[in-house]
């Protein structure tokens, strides 16, 4: 396979387009790149014209890696087709939530648990967007000080809900959100459960525990949609096992892979400035005894989806992380 890999991108939406862009930008060793969706058509993704094929079982013949970015659920691409792809020899990397918590499916954020990617039986899951950026910053703090409790409030962009989310902000169209999003803040992302938590809030708790390998970690999340196009922001409060110092936290964050951090207290990242950048950005760090607080921003379509998925693919083929 020295000449590269045959890769299928399933889904030609916001994440599908970023997957194509990240495969190109990171020089993933490609022999062939196929784009599949519900309907066949000619589509321009990241400036490149593709003959989009229909996502059906036969389309995965000869595919080495299938990057899934279709919609979730029973009728979604991953539930319908992931096992069809693995039966034909492909490794599936899924951006959706359908398989993330299955015990045999590794849930991987390469900066945190790259080794887990190799223990798969055909499917590797990409984390939820708001969870990925959080665990990239939690991991170095966990290593240094131990984690007791995490409390997070999110400020999530409309593109996190796909094309229909962007339409809702730009044209006030569709039913992507339960209330108008322009000029608003909506504290409800996903379905609400009997316990009052939304599916997005549950994902942040359960996925963080799995990725960090801390099954008892206390995580309390409040997920809020705001009228920002791209880039999720988070206010994170942590209680640590060991007493922390500002100097120690800054050092841990500075040396953490994937984290861009400005030590200037007046300099803080915003979604507008960091959209289009593949990393995780941290600012406003405050430390008081066992409590650490900071602000964290990342492009939900890149590190929150496409960049992380391509990094997993690189881990699997041993290219680079």
- Show which residues are catalytic: 129, 232
Return the residue of 76, 106, 258, 278 that touches ligand NAP, per CB under 6 A: 76
Member of 7, 8, 9, 15 binding ligand NAP (CB under 6 A): 15
Query: C-beta of 207: minimal distance to ligand NAP in Å?
Result: 11
User: What distance in Å separates the CA atoms of residue 18 and residue 219, rounded to the nearest whole number?
Assistant: 30
Closest to ligand NAP by CB, 18 vs 209, is: 18
Rounded to the nearest 5°, which phi and psi values hold at 18?
A: -70, -30
Taking the CB of residue 103, how many other CB atoms lie within 10 A of it? 6
Could you tell me the smallest distance in angstroms from the CB atom of residue 182 to ligand NAP?
19
Question: Applying CB under 6 A, does 223 fall inside the site for ligand NAP?
Answer: no
Under rule CB under 6 A, residue 70 binds ligand NAP: yes
CB of 129 to ligand NAP, least distance (A): 4
Pairing of β 280-288 and β 232-240:
unpaired
Tell whether residue 278 is a contact of ligand NAP (CB under 6 A).
no
Quick note: the x/- pattern for ligand NAP over 129-148, rule CB under 6 A, is x-------------------
- 96 is a contact residue toward ligand NAP (CB under 6 A): yes
User: Which range, of 75-83, 147-155, 167-175, 264-272, touches ligand NAP by CB under 6 A?
Assistant: 75-83
| Position 252 contacts ligand NAP (CB under 6 A) | no
Q: How far apart are CA 203 and CA 97, in angstroms?
A: 8
Residue 298 interacts with ligand NAP (CB under 6 A)? no
* 176 sits near ligand NAP (criterion: CB under 6 A): no
CB of residue 273 vs ligand NAP: minimum separation in angstroms? 18
Q: How far is the CB of 72 from ligand NAP (least distance, A)?
A: 4
For ligand NAP, the closer of residues 15 and 252 by Cβ is 15
Give yes or no for residue 91 binding ligand NAP (CB under 6 A). no
Range 155-174, binding ligand NAP (CB under 6 A) = 159-160, 162-163
Q: Binding pattern to ligand NAP, positions 32-51, x when CB under 6 A?
A: -----xxx------------
Q: What is the SS3 assignment for the chain?
A: CCCCEEEEEECCCHHHHHHHHHHHHCCCCEEEEEEEECCCEEEEECCEEEEEEECCHHHHCCCCEEEECCCCCCCCHHHHHHHHHHHCCCEEEECCCCCCCCCCCCEECHHHHHHHHHCCCCEEEECCHHHHHHHHHHHHHHHHHCEEEEEEEEEECHHHHCHHHHHHHHHCCCCCCCCCCCCCCECCCCCECCCCCEHHHHHHHHHHHHHHCCCCCEEEEECCECCCCCCEEEEEEEEECCCCCHHHHHHHHHCCCCEEECCCCCCCCCHHHHCCCCCEEEEEEEEECCEEEEEEEECCCHHHHHHHHHHHHHHHHCCCC
Counting residues that bind ligand NAP (by CB under 6 A) gives 29
What does the binding site for ligand NAP look like in residue numbers (CB under 6 A)? 10-16, 37-39, 55, 69-72, 76-77, 80, 95-96, 129, 159-160, 162-163, 300-301, 304-305
């Amino acid at each position: 396979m020295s000449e590269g890999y045959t890769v299928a991108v399933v889904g030609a939406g916001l994440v599908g387009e970023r997957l194509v862009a990240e495969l190109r930008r990171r020089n993933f060793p490609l022999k062939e790149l196929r784009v599949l969706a519900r309907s066949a058509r000619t589509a321009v993704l990241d400036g490149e014209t593709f003959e989009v094929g229909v996502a059906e079982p036969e389309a995965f013949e000869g595919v080495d890696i299938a990057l899934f970015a279709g919609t979730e659920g029973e009728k979604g691409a991953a539930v319908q087709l992931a096992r069809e792809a693995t039966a034909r020899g492909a490794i599936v990397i899924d951006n959706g939530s359908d398989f993330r918590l299955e015990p045999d499916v590794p849930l991987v954020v390469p900066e945190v648990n790259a080794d887990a990617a190799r223990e798969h039986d055909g499917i590797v899951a990409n984390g939820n967007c708001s969870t990925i950026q959080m665990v990239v910053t939690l991991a170095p703090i966990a290593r240094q000080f131990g984690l007791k409790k995490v409390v997070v409030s999110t400020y999530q962009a409309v593109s996190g809900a796909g094309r229909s989310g962007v339409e809702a902000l730009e044209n006030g169209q569709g039913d992507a959100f339960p209330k108008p999003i322009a000029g608003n803040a909506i504290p409800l992302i996903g379905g609400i459960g009997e316990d009052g938590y939304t599916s997005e809030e549950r994902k942040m708790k359960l996925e963080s525990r799995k990725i960090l390998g801390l099954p008892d970690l206390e995580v309390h999340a409040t997920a809020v949609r705001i009228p920002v196009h791209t880039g999720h922001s988070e206010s994170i409060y942590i209680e640590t096992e060991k007493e922390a110092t500002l100097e120690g936290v800054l050092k841990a964050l500075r040396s953490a892979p994937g984290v861009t951090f400005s030590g200037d207290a007046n300099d803080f990242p915003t979604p507008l400035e960091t959209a289009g950048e593949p990393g995780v950005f941290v600012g406003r760090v405050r430390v008081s005894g066992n409590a650490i607080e900071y602000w964290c921003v990342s492009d939900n379509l890149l590190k929150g989806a496409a960049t992380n998925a391509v990094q997993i693919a690189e881990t699997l083929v041993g290219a680079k992380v």
